[in-house]
Amino acid sequence: MKIGKSITPLSPSTSTSRGFTLLEIVIVLGIIAVILGGSIAVVGKLGDGAKLQRVTSDFNTITSAISTYKINAGTAPTTQQGLQALVVKPASTPIPKRWVQLAKSVPLDPWQNEYIYRFPGKKDPSDFELISKGPDTQEGTEDDLSSQD
């Protein structure tokens, strides 16, 4: 009498295929690549919208700092003093009577350029204007963003 089972190899005609073929794997990888490519393109377009939102947010933050500067100094910084007047006390006239550092540094726009500051502004001479050169980083082109728009 035999104890245990005997091991007999299965013949090729009775075995079932349990793996994936190379062709099936290549097709699945191709589908994944198409899906990833489409999602990367969509996310890239969303990045531009996020940069525009950041410019708006920066305009609001800088406007708030300049408003505080105006309360302390009696007037907004001149174009010559620029946004640097929020970081370092201006040495040129008008020198503010009461000055407080309102920023650690002048922020850069999302395209790594300094914001342009004008007082008086071009569109509204009674107020200051902040400008971002936009994605092309050239001043005076259609993609420029202004706080007076």
Q: Where are the beta strands (DSSP E) in the chain?
A: 116-118, 129-132, 145-146
Q: Which two tokens stand for residue 9?
A: 């190899």
Q: Are 93 and 58 in contact, with CB atoms under 8 Å apart? A: no
pLDDT tens for 21-61 read: 888 888 888 888 888 887 776 766 666 788 889 999 999 99
Question: What does the radius of gyration of the chain's CA atoms come to, in whole angstroms?
Answer: 32
Tell me the CATH number for domain 39-146: 3.30.700.10
Listed residue (52, 79, 55, 80) closest to 131, CA to CA: 55
Judge whether 109 and 130 are in contact, CB under 8 Å: no
Tens digit of pLDDT per residue, the chain (149 long)?
A: 556 555 555 555 555 667 888 888 888 888 888 888 877 767 666 667 888 899 999 999 999 999 999 999 999 999 999 999 999 999 999 998 889 999 999 999 999 999 999 999 998 999 999 999 999 989 989 999 999 98
Cα–Cα distance for residue pair 4/18, rounded to 1 Å: 27
Q: What is the pTM of this model?
A: 0.68
Matching residue, tokens 């040129």: 92
> Is 24 within 8 Å of 30 (Cβ atoms)?
no
